[in-house]
Amino acid sequence: MNNINAIILAAGKGTRMNSTKPKVLQVLSDKTLLEHVLMQAQALCSQVFVVVGLGSEQVCQALDDDSINWVEQSEQLGTGHAVQQATPYINDDSISLVLYGDVPLIRQSTLKDLITQAQKSGVALLSVMLDNPAGYGRIIRKDNQIQAIVEQKDANTEQLMICEVNTGIMVLDSGLLKAYLGNLNANNAQGEFYLTDIIAMAVKDGKTIASVIAENDSEVAGVNDKVQLAELERVFQKNQANQFMQQGLTLKDPARFDCRGTLNFGQNCEVDVNVVVEGDVSLGDNTTIAPNCIIKNAKIGTNVVILPNSVIEDAIIGDGASIGPFARIRPEAHIGESAKIGNFVEVKKSTIGKGSKISHLSYVGDTIMGEGVNIGAGVITCNYDGVNKHQTTIEDGVFVGSDTQFIAPVTIGKNATIGAGSTIAKDVPGGKLSLSRTKQAVLKNWKKPIKK
């Protein structure tokens, strides 16, 4: 929308967080609280102003967004004073949306409704109905028209019974906002300049205060401590899970699923309990993920089976592949079509060819592996010499016996066989059997050491 300014108040320290990070930099899902609010503001507004105070340098560095206009509130004198720091940079012939950097679940659709109402009346505020309104400013209405907002500490007994409360989120004609801010005073229990006092001023001027009532309290809930942060995390995850299930994803227990990023999926995908998705993840059709897996920045094909307790990060998994259980697929791994990565296998920066199998207890790093390769239990590519990494090449059809070490750089030719227990430090020709073992012997004079 054009000619709309967002003013996001983010100057609070958040003492109750007991953290060295400012409150707005606490993380919910994969974003800071402030980033969640910014995402909605930037989608709706032509300009975004963020008012910062304590810890401002840390906040600015963390976001590092050139589209943000940073405004400093050097003294903490209330919400009205905070908004006033941004108004010198805003044109009178615009409208201003006031948001809070610690209210992460505010919905774009709600803000659109609020902006529409303000464009008609000049002033619109967002309220919510609470069963327990303690601590919040009460909305005072007469003949259903908003007359004022009374803060908890300034409310009388009758006003304290009101369940409709102010969320602090409002939209105003910018010219009106500037005029009213200039008339604020600190004659209240807190000794602060309340932004909410401008509502009574607007009513006195004969303005009709439009309003939107939020659908649920979590949408407008602020975060003041780690308990509230955890509560909103669960709400956020529940909302995501419901959306995914409506789009066709099967979640065995949506309460035990976390998506901390972006998840795209095909048809007939199934995710079991305690799965964590991070970053950008995509699943092809008919892919299943078993319990206790972590999937981060991965492209996973169709008909893939990921077995329990597996970790996949920055990797590509081909169609029909099987991963796990207890497998770790590290960055820059590309697991080919119908390949098998079995239990307690780690793959890093390697390409595993179509139909190849690494079934048990192996480490494969910096390796190019062809198609139809069979790797026995306990095989290791020794890719690091203490200074540099080196590559192992295993061509199509190779069979590697258990407990083999490849001392990279080394190339194993097509259809070669490596005998179990070998240490391979030289290239192996294709189609041949290679092994390195000493002749088995029994040492007659050897004695078992005795513990001293």
Q: Please give the positions annotated as active site.
A: 360
Close Cβ partners of 373 (under 8 Å, ≥ 6 residues apart): 352, 353, 356, 357, 394, 396, 397, 398, 399, 400
Q: What whole-number distance in Å separates Cα of residue 336 and Cα of residue 352?
A: 5
Q: What whole-number distance in Å separates Cα of residue 276 and Cα of residue 288?
A: 14
Q: What whole-number distance in Å separates Cα of residue 380 and Cα of residue 412?
A: 14
- Longest C-alpha distance within the chain, in Å? 108
Q: What whole-number distance in Å separates Cα of residue 33 and Cα of residue 23?
A: 8
203-219: b or e for each residue (b if 16 or more CB lie within 10 Å)? beeebebbbbebeebbb
Q: Sign of dihedral through CA atoms 107, 29, 46, 137?
A: positive
**358 closest CA partner among 292, 390, 406:** 406
Q: What tokens does 57 get?
A: 């340098």
Q: What whole-number distance in Å separates Cα of residue 34 and Cα of residue 51?
A: 11
* Residue found under tokens 């979590």: 218
* Residue found under tokens 């391979």: 424
Q: What tokens does 161 get?
A: 């019974």
